[in-house]
Amino acid sequence: MPYSPTTWVNGVPPALEAANLNNLETQHAQAIADGWSYADVNSGGVLQANSHNVSATVKDAVGQYTVTWDTDYATTGYAALAKGNTNSPFDGPIQIISRAVGSCQVRTYQSYTTSTDTDKAFQIYAHGTYA
b (16+ CB within 10 A) / e for 24-39: eeeeebeeebbbbbbb
Cα–Cα distance for residue pair 106/127, rounded to 1 Å? 16
**What pLDDT digit, counting tens, does each position of 78-116 carry?**
999 988 765 555 567 788 999 999 999 998 877 666 666
**Pairwise CA distance, residues 85 & 105, whole Å:** 17
pLDDT number for residue 128: 87
Using a cut of 0.85, tell me whether the model's pTM lies above it: no
- From residue 5, alpha-carbon distances to 2, 13, 28, 30, 32 in Å are 10, 11, 16, 19, 19
With H, G, I as helix, E, B as strand and everything else as coil, classify residue 38. Answer: strand
Residue numbers of the chain with a pLDDT score lower than 70: 1-32, 43-44, 85-91, 111-120
> What SS3 class is residue 88?
coil
